[in-house]
Amino acid sequence: MKTTLLAASLGLAALTATAASAMDDVIVAFAGTEDLKNDAEYVFIHAFAESLAEHGVNVVVHPSNTLGKESDRFDQTSQGLIAVNIGNGGVLMKASKWSSTLFLPFLTSDEASFDRIVEESDGLAKINEEASRLGVRVAGFAMRGGTLGLFNTEKPVTTLADVADMRLRAQNGDQVTFMSAWGAKPTVVSWAETPNALQTGVATGHFNPPSTVVAAGQVELLNYFTPLNAGPVPKVIMMSDDWYSFLSDEERGWVDEAVARGIEVNRAWALEQAPYFEQVIVDGGIEVTPLAEGEREKFVEASRAVWNQIVPQEDVDYITQFTE
């Protein structure tokens, strides 16, 4: 009995200590660099930290995967070792199958449309219902800037037919599905291995916005870019559910305010920087090859035809009511 009481007391003491120290040195991690000019995640983090600093809260930033790659950081966030992690959509999809619905290609064409869908639907609640089971809370999204298009090393792409048999790097199985519908030959390659894949011909292109290529230092590896306006690139603002839950009501208010401020600054940055990133790739020797008239509609039709292979039809029906 004494042992049980002692264990309970120690457990309560640990929880009390965690609650008391939850806002001491808030740990934030991400894959990018502390670059306010080129890195969207850091733009959010910097504004988030400045907002919390107004309340005397110190934020410790760990850039460049110093606390681990995507899956490692997700696990540490789940365990409460990282308070806030900026991750990619692929990792989120492992925690929330429903989140794939928000990342469907050609669901939206820009950041504003994406934000409107998130605001008007209960998509975030659906995601958090699933992600909370793994100890993660999604607070929102930070945008990379610009919209998704097709980069490649081989040739100008101006029609859907030009993509036939093209070896495209896919992030995951979802991308394999819609790229295959385009007639391409996709292969899953990690982002870290993508430069080598481009140099060796394992892949000859990938699906990203100019901002991602610039931030990754891949401009010199690619020759052509075709704007598809297939949607923005949301990076996921994840929090430790335990960490957030241990905060007082006042502290949660500070964090919510900091998240809102970070998103606001990020959106303004993304809108302003999109033309800059487009100019950087042109100056770096990448030729921009717009689609011929009527060809974007073919990409849209081919992609939407396989949406229900990526997510259930009921989820497609639900989310599309907010796109009209």
The answer to whether 36 touches 43, Cβ cutoff 8 Å, is: yes
Domain count, the chain: 2
Give the pLDDT score at 141.
98
pLDDT of residue 5: 37
Res 94: pLDDT: 86
Q: Write down the pLDDT at residue 14.
A: 41
Is residue 7 a part of any domain in this protein?
Answer: no
With respect to residue 35, please indicate whether it lies within any of the assigned structural domains.
yes
> Which residues make beta-bridge pairs with 224?
152, 287
Instruction: Note down the domain range covering 163.
Output: 149-231+279-319
Q: Residue 4's pLDDT is what?
A: 38
pLDDT at res. 22:
65
186 and 125 share one domain: no
Closest CA to 115 of 141, 92, 80: 141
Cα dihedral 274→185→204→275 (10° resolution): -10
Query: What predicted TM-score, i.e. pTM, was given to this entire model?
Result: 0.88
pLDDT of residue 223: 98
Which pLDDT does position 113 carry in this prediction?
A: 95
User: 267 and 125: one domain?
Assistant: yes
Ranges of the chain with pLDDT below 70? 1-22
Residue 283 inside a domain? The answer is yes
Position 112 scores a pLDDT of: 94
pLDDT, position 23: 79
Give the pair of three-digit tokens for residue 197.
Answer: 């894949």
Is residue 184 located within the same domain as residue 289?
Answer: yes
The residues near 318 (Cβ < 8 Å, ≥ 6 apart) are 101, 121
Q: What is the CATH number of the domain that holds 180?
A: 3.40.190.170
The pLDDT assigned to 16 comes to 40
311 and 169 co-located in one domain: yes
Q: pLDDT at position 2, please?
A: 36
Three-point CA angle 273, 275, 276, nearest 5°: 60
Q: Which two tokens stand for residue 214?
A: 């610039």
